[in-house]
A and B are shown apart, each in its own frame.
Chain A
Amino acid sequence: GAVVSQHPSWVICKSGTSVKIECRSLDFQATTMFWYRQFPKQSLMLMATSNEGSKATYEQGVEKDKFLINHASLTLSTLTVTSAHPEDSSFYICSARVLAEYNEQFFGPGTRLTVL
């Protein structure tokens, strides 16, 4: 299947700092990528849909000024958590949609963010 990478795989930062997470499609072009957040033993919650060359679409309740998304190329989307706080500590997962038989999404390995 298609390969999606994320960097970093884990990050620890101080409260008030900003953290950037990269999501790359390695062997295909992705016009649409998705960003999810998952708290322990909870479901994946869709945060936003990232569209190449246009503004991201945020889900209700997700602050667009806090979670900045940039999808500048067909293989890269970035999520920046600005002024991070301990409650932002979570597992952040991106996925990329493949325009194939099922149009399924392939997930990156995730980034575990811990804010002290």
Chain B
Amino acid sequence: GQNIDQPTEMTATEGAIVQINCTYQTSGFNGLFWYQQHAGEAPTFLSYNVLDGLEEKGRFSSFLSRSKGYSYLLLKELQMKDSASYLCASRKSGDKIIFGKGTRLHILP
């Protein structure tokens, strides 16, 4: 991805909590998305942050710090079906969305 950095892989245990970090280039920044993508499928929308702070949506929460160019996705009460890639994506002016390379999350029983 274009100046979007996130870990390549992470492993966590079923029932636990995991935090996936993402840093992005702040120039032209206009919002931060998190998408979930299972292998061979298209991404599905998880969350959107444009203001600083934490957005909670069920088991998933997303945090943004615009001044630091930093976001994280927090997944609670992990389930086996949460095994997927999680894509951090930055929206630039003009609505263009730039994706990171994704973090492959492995959930162990």
Contact = CB atoms under 8 A, between A and B. Distances in A.
Interface of A: 1, 32, 34, 36, 41-46, 49, 91, 93, 97, 102-110, 112
B42 A110 contact: yes
Contact of B95 (A43, A45, A91, A103): A103
Contacts of A42: 101
B87 to A, nearest CB: 7
Contacts of A109: 41-42
Interface of B: 1, 31, 33, 40-45, 48, 87, 95-102, 104
Nearest to A1: B45
Interface of A is mostly: strand
Nearest to B4: A43
Contact of B1 (A32, A43, A93, A106): A43
Given A46-B98, A110-B42, 12 more contacts: A34-B97, A41-B104, A43-B100, A43-B101, A43-B102, A44-B99, A46-B96, A49-B96, A102-B48, A104-B45, A107-B43, A108-B42
B33 A104 contact: yes
Contacts of B99: 36, 43-46
A109 B42 CA distance: 5
A46 B90 CA distance: 12
Contacts of A44: 43, 87, 99
A96 B25 CA distance: 24
Nearest to B47: A102
A97 B45 contact: no
Given A42-B101, A44-B87, A107 B44 contact: yes
Contacts of B43: 44, 93, 107
Contact of A32 (B33, B48, B95, B102): B95
Given A44-B87, A102-B48, A93 B100 contact: no
A102 B97 CA distance: 13
Contacts of A102: 31, 48
Contacts of A103: 95
